[in-house]
Amino acid sequence: MSDHPQQSPAGPAATPRPVRVLSGIQPTGRFHWGNYFGAIRQYIELQTAGDAFYFIADLHALTTVREPERLRSLVHAAAVDLVALGLDPARATLFVQSDVPEVTELTWLLMTVCPMGLLERCHAYKDKKTRGLPADAGLFTYPVLMSADILAYDATVVPVGEDQVQHIEVCRDLAGTFNHLYGEVFTLPKPRLVESGARVPGTAGQKMSKSYDNTLDVFEDPAVQKKKIMRITTDSRPMEDPKNPDDDHLFALYALVAPEADRLVMADLYRRGGFGYGEVKKALVAAAADFFADSRRRRAELEADPARVEAILADGAARARRQAAAVLARARAACGLTRGGGTPAISRGKA
């Protein structure tokens, strides 16, 4: 193994690998603007950067969603939303995590080389423990499943928010240990921090988050959304006062959905003062409607045709499984789970 170049990508031929982007999206609720502008939009843009795999992480969701019907509907809705928002199934592979059982087997192989201490340090588990909440083994071992998700597809680039960088490090650790023990089986991925710009604020100023119940959802009923927008908290300075747009969460929300020219005009209005927040809110309602109009139309079409969505997911699963099966075969052969001729033995890195 020592004859492996340090930075060599894994794989029998050790040839440079094409960029393969992988991203998992949790189906734990409807997407809000924070999810979209902070993550999903950037993930979708990466479908043009290389071969992209996107999965809906239903196995991960099982640690929080315990109603089967709800899980089924969230998974379907996530697929609909992603395609409506521009994920192109002809270009990228979209599938449901549990449709690729190879990943769970791979999880076990990785578990056998995973020190407990590594997982004890992971923040999702640590946070829960610190707060005195019970954690199950699913949450504890979630970074191992996430590692398998990444390694099963030979992903080279994993776009993540800052909170997930630690888990990519776990993945690299496990892949490195496995490769060290058994030969170059896995491709080590690199995290790619998505520039989310600023954190998207919620309707009361702090970070937009499902947990804070302060979200504007991407596909919510326009009347409901309008009400939420009209109730966004604002400061109570007199109308005449000039205001700093960069210091105002209402403006921050407007800036996400308004065309550049309108955004500049609004910023100028803020700096000059003499306007009411009600005007900004109305402009925000209109800009949001325009911004998501195409996606809403696509979404309505997809909702009317559930079979089409299921066909997209079936096709994605078939593509994903082919890839995951090849990686799993490499891993099984490398660690001695095959007997005579079953799975081709991997070449032991003569690179």
Q: Does 159 bind ligand ATP (CB under 6 A)?
A: no
Q: Are strands 93-96 and 51-56 parallel, antiparallel or unpaired?
A: parallel
Q: Which of 85, 43, 102 is nearest to 317 (CA)?
A: 102
Q: Does 30 bind ligand ATP (CB under 6 A)?
A: no
| Residues binding ligand ATP: number (CB under 6 A) | 14
Q: Does 38 bind ligand ATP (CB under 6 A)?
A: yes
Dihedrals φ, ψ of 20, to 5°?
-125, 115
* Closest to ligand ATP by CB, 186 or 251: 251
Residue 319 Cβ vs ligand ATP, minimum distance, rounded to whole Å: 24
Q: Which amino acid is at 287?
A: A
Q: Does 2 bind ligand ATP (CB under 6 A)?
A: no
* Closest to ligand ATP by CB, 250 or 346: 250
Q: Among 17, 41, 199, 228, which residue interacts with ligand ATP (rule: CB under 6 A)?
A: 199
Q: Does 205 bind ligand ATP (CB under 6 A)?
A: no
Helix-then-strand count for the chain, H and E: 16, 5
Q: Does 245 bind ligand ATP (CB under 6 A)?
A: no
Bridge partners (DSSP) listed for residue 25: 56
Q: Which amino acid is at 277?
A: Y
Q: Does 207 bind ligand ATP (CB under 6 A)?
A: yes
Which residues fall within 8 angstroms of residue 143, CB to CB, at 6 or more apart?
A: 118, 119, 122, 124, 166, 167, 170, 171
Residue with the CB atom nearest ligand ATP in the bound state: 38
DSSP three-state, residue 333: helix
Q: Among 21, 22, 39, 331, which residue interacts with ligand ATP (rule: CB under 6 A)?
A: 39
Q: Does 298 bind ligand ATP (CB under 6 A)?
A: no
Return d(Cα 71, Cα 76) in angstroms, integer: 9
Return d(Cα 221, Cα 178) in angstroms, integer: 49
Q: Does 191 bind ligand ATP (CB under 6 A)?
A: no
Task: Tell me which residues touch ligand ATP (CB under 6 A).
Answer: 26, 34-35, 38-39, 161, 196, 199-200, 207-211
